Amino acid sequence: MSFTSLVLKNLWRHKIRSLLAITGISLGIATIIALGAVADGMEQNLIATLRSGKADFSIGQANAPMIILSSVPQARVAEIARWEEVEQAVGALVSFSSFQNNPYFMAIGIEPEALDLGGVTILQGRPFAREDEILLGKMTAGTLNISLGESVSLDAQRLRVVGIYETGNLFQDAGALLYLPTLQKLKNRSGEITVILVKAKAGADLNRLTERVERAYKNELVTLRSAEEFNRNYQSLSLVRAGSWLVSLLALVIGGIGVVNTMMMSVFERTREIGILRAVGWRRWRVLQLVLGESLSLGMLAALAGTLMGWALARAVVLLPQARGLIAPAYGSELFLKALALSLVVGLLGGLYPAYRASKILPQEALRYE
């Protein structure tokens, strides 16, 4: 028998109680995993959406809380397009609109000349040429069963479907493309775009070009070349993430109370046993380790159970008809590490006081047989 197996045995002795404590933590962990996976998935899709196609990099607003909330003056497009290292610069406005009966439908406003740079392949029909025309993503057309020539409503505006496209990006293919001024008018955002897509001239130094942009528009624009840059610039402040941290905190508190309760009960019941351990030569520190080991194991098991539950929950969300294939959860290792760290912290904090109490048990008191 090893110390570790003694720890696990002690948990196993009160299976139901241990299970309850584990459930308490793992529910929180499951929520964090599910929420996080869905949020990460959406974010990654969004990033791919805004970075897609043949562009070398994109430009967004500096200090925007989320990329979707980025706002860039449209005038910057022409300014940057004139630079000699720049082959092409185009603006795109991304917005959530109500489409048919879906209130969170992603519509992208863009100039027709920019479709190629955006990586758009027309599967049927032709590009839009007029203000009242729209292109539907392949998944939009497929799930809603809309075909060419039909009239659809976007934010209560009637538009005619002239083509169906594919980009390979989940968000884009579940959205629609239309003429930039039309979307600007619908959203009351004329002169404003979300991102600028930039293609550099062949042989241009991309590093110097992006530096030039950031120097020229200091504190106004940031360049985004990779998914990591998107994350760095837009993720930390996002509302979803703040919400997920709030849930984490709640899980920490609820799970922690469960662990304290469980471990206090278990220490109290084992006063005599702990007295024996101390009498036969265990140090205070060793007793502390034993109880902390038990609470940490509860945390670890909860991390495992919570991760599985969270994964299942995210799968279930994806299967909801409302999700319509819009959400592809992303299970990053960061998310799992966060869940593991969190449950270990809960186990540690929840076990601290009970372990301290256990280490204070006096052998001669515990072993008196009245």
Partner 1 sequence: MSEKIIIAKDLVKTYENGRTRALDGVSLEIFRGEAVAICGPSGSGKSTLLNLIGALDRPDSGELIVAGENLVRQRSDLADFRARKLGLIFQLHNLIPALTALENVLIPTLGINGGRREIQAQAKMLLERVGLHDKTHRRPPELSGGERQRVAVARALVNNPELILADEPTGSLDSKSEKQVLDLLRELQTERGVTLILVTHDPRVAQSADRVIELLDGCVRAPVAA
Provide the terminal-to-terminal Cα distance of the chain, rounded to the nearest Å.
32
Tokens encoding 72: 């860039």
Q: Least CB distance from residue 34 to partner 1, whole Å?
A: 37
19 or 62: whose CB is closer to partner 1?
19
How far apart, in whole angstroms, are the C-alpha atoms of residue 303 and residue 306? 5
281 or 321: whose CB is closer to partner 1?
281
Instruction: State which of residues 9, 54, 158, 315 lies at the interface with partner 1 (CB under 8 A).
Output: 9
Tokens encoding 227: 């998914």
How far apart, in whole angstroms, are the C-alpha atoms of residue 128 and residue 106? 17
- 212 sits near partner 1 (criterion: CB under 8 A): no
- 360 sits near partner 1 (criterion: CB under 8 A): no
- 272 sits near partner 1 (criterion: CB under 8 A): yes
Q: Least CB distance from residue 292 to partner 1, whole Å?
A: 15
140 or 297: whose CB is closer to partner 1?
297
Contact 177, 134 (CB under 8 A): yes
3 or 245: whose CB is closer to partner 1?
3
- 13 sits near partner 1 (criterion: CB under 8 A): yes
Q: Least CB distance from residue 368 to partner 1, whole Å?
A: 8
Instruction: State which of residues 273, 324, 328, 356 lies at the interface with partner 1 (CB under 8 A).
Output: 273
How far apart, in whole angstroms, are the C-alpha atoms of residue 287 and residue 351? 12
Q: Which range touches partner 1 (CB under 8 A), out of 117-125, 138-146, 272-280, 323-331?
A: 272-280
The binding site for partner 1 (CB under 8 A) comprises 1-3, 6, 9-10, 13, 272-273, 275-284, 286, 362-364, 367, 369
